[in-house]
Amino acid sequence: GINYGGLKLSATHYRSFFTNYLYLAHTGLSRAGGFLVKEWRASDTEIRGWELMGSYTYAWSTDGHVAFNAFADLVKNRNTSDDSMRKWAEGDFMPNLPTSRYGWAVAFRYKKFAGNANFDRYLKQRYLGKNINLEPAMPSYSLLAAQLGYQVRIKRYEMRYFISGNNLLNVEARPQNSILKYLAPLPGRNISIGVKLSTPYPASSAGAAPY
């Protein structure tokens, strides 16, 4: 990685080998209503990928700055077990694992105002496992979230008024690694308005300086 002025760039490649990696596997049984019966199993697995990050911060005063961030997470897993039965039942890749994704974010602060916006794009899973049959790939989706706040300080208390929203695009999002992906997606568009009260500094005792 590099860090030059307000610019930061980094790239990380990882490759991890797990012995007896725990995962949920299909037993071939089902209950009333079509609910599949699964059990915890353990097997050797390799997980590898790339983490790419970039950010730039521009400050025009001590109480004013804006920051831009971008990232990409590329992940792949592989069954490294010699168990032929496991390869037949679960395939060459582990089922129900997170998908690759990329996104960006912007955040700012100006005096008593602060805000941020985040966009994440989750890709369709390319490396599918099996539950006897091939694991279905959930559709790709994008999540957009934003927040705006105003902060005031009263003595040693901080009061922050905020409005925030999640899944602002109101998309149907079913994460590949969610055990409830077939029953329910993530929550749709939701807006929150609130006040947060906090004490950043504890009351100092006699002769003791605050943190």
Residue-wise pLDDT tens digits, 158-198: 899 999 999 999 999 999 988 888 889 999 999 999 999 88
Question: Is the pTM of the predicted complex or chain greater than 0.85?
Answer: no
Average model confidence (pLDDT) across the chain = 87
Confidence of residue 9 (pLDDT cuts 50, 70, 90): very high
Architecture field, domain 2-198: Beta Barrel (2.40)
**5 backbone φψ class: left, alpha, beta (φ>0; ψ -120 to 50):** left
If you average pLDDT over residues 44-69, what whole number do you get?
A: 93
What is the arithmetic mean of pLDDT over 35-57?
89
Under 8 Å between Cβ of 163 and 148: yes
Q: Using the predicted structure, report yes or no on whether residue 202 has a pLDDT greater than 80.
A: no
**Of the candidates 180, 174, 176, the residue with the CA atom closest to the CA atom of residue 100:** 176
For the residues 190-209, what does the mean pLDDT come to? Answer: 71
Given a contact cutoff of 8 angstroms between Cβ atoms, the answer to whether 140 and 123 are in contact is yes
| 183 CB-side CA count, 13 A | 7
* Short-list 82, 3, 74, CA closest to 45: 82
Name the DSSP class of 83: -
The CA distance from 12 to 99, in Å, is: 17
Per-residue tokens: 73: 């997470």
Whether 205 has a pLDDT exceeding 60, the answer reads: no
Nearest CA to 93 out of 77, 80, 73, 74 is that of: 77
